Amino acid sequence: MSFEFEKQLKVTETNIPGLLVFDLPVHGDNRGWFKENWQRAKMTALGLPDFGPVQNNISFNATKGVTRGIHAEPWDKYISIAAGEIFGAWVDLRPGESFGQVYTTRLDPSRAIYVPRGVGNSFQALEDGTVYTYLVNAHWSLEQKKTYTFVNLADPELNIQWPIPLEESERSEADLHHPMLKDAKPMAPKRTLVTGCNGQLGHAIRAYAEAHDLHGFEYTDIDTFDFSDPAAYERFDWSLYGTIINAGAFTAVDKAETPEGRPVAWKANAQGPALLARVAKDHHITLVHVSSDYVFDGTVEQHTETEPFAPLGVYGQTKAAGDIAVANAPEHYILRSSWVIGEGHNFVKTMMTLSNRVADPSDKLNEVTVVDDQYGRLTFTKDMTEAIFHLLDSHAPYGTYNLTGSGKVKSWADIATAVFEQTNHNGDKVKPITTAEYFANAKNPVSPRPVHSALDLTKIEATGYTPANWAESLKTYVSQHISE
């Protein structure tokens, strides 16, 4: 036994992002030795990701000189030595600036290494009877195997100084023919699942991904994946996914107050997010979920992320329940919005249509009443999408973030007037009315609305994202849709 006893547990970062080397305390004497090979609490405190291993594998190498690799696999792994010693070489095969970076070191029972998904792994046994053991956080499958990528052990560009010359080593036929780095295929990112792809936000997410040439996106709606149905989850291999963006919800605020709408709202807005949160927690998936100002009662003029829930109606209650469920997923972003505008049916398009009708001499509509005692800011789905990808790409701290347009707080009547004015210069045809007056003769149930829907944007601005001014976004939006 040539390794060092009684080291202090410590971690060393390497030149490859996320590749971590651990010195392990090994306790022993002439009878043998003992070590804590992997200790979740101590190691995560030092920076080891809480990667959730599901399988423990052991590789035995009978003779010195056995050389394997370089293989990049679609899971994280924690590697240690049970007997003998190895020389290891790791190559970053993830797309990005660190692609092709190389790190080498020796491992014995007193040293271990954490290898992130997509970092190529190889080793050379330096003693007879070497035992190499590793934990992985995904089960092997044919679907997983399709994502493997490789690079050649002998590539001169890597300049790996193997202790035993490769021509004297024992290698497999497959390892001899792996591509050189210049021809190596970068590891594809984990998949991103988008729910509610046919809604306003879903359309914006798809447009963003296509515009930025993002790969690995799968788009679903209730007809292809009903995320409120527990049985629907069984057809997915969730270890293939890294992110879920939940753009699906029941948003018919007044219908949620009806006997037929209430259970649908609870299923889509509460049960569905709870099921997504469970699968996200079990598989270390980042869950992005969109919330609403309706989780508050609107008694304060501007809402922070920490304000206690106090929903007034069924829709708000179901959204609050969904938020609580999603918060149980360790890796989550909740983006709270208000007054959402995107592609599809929405308030701005309705006002544009009404402005055209008022401007048409053959139409009998002369004016439009709009409530003026509810206050907030618009949230454009384009801005919401940009904020989502900002949080994901910048690895901002997980949690809840308010996201609306920035700028002055206005009433619905103010916004309608601006739309009318830009559409046909007939803003004077918008007549303010109170909420109570507007719904005075309603025949169907009406959900109570928060008076104040404005959200404080300080937290998301602190991450480096500056929300666009909603009034400027409104001008752009109306201009783009004025000919429809």
The residues annotated as belonging to the active site are: 71, 134
Q: Are 89 and 101 in contact (CB under 8 A)?
A: no
Distance CA 218, CA 191 (A): 7
The first and second tokens of residue 274, run together, are: 């709870």
Exposed / middle / buried, residue 210 (Cβ in 10 Å: 0-12, 13-18, 19+)? exposed
Distance CA 397, CA 92 (A): 25
Exposed / middle / buried, residue 258 (Cβ in 10 Å: 0-12, 13-18, 19+)? middle
Exposed / middle / buried, residue 83 (Cβ in 10 Å: 0-12, 13-18, 19+)? middle
- 3-state SS assignment for residue 110: coil
Distance CA 480, CA 484 (A): 9
Distance CA 179, CA 159 (A): 15
Neighbouring residues of 213: CB distance < 8 A, sequence distance ≥ 6: none
Distance CA 449, CA 268 (A): 20
DSSP letter (8 states) at residue 345: S
Where residue 134 falls (left for φ over 0; alpha for ψ -120 to 50; beta otherwise) is beta
Backbone angles phi, psi at 261, to 5 degrees: -85, -30
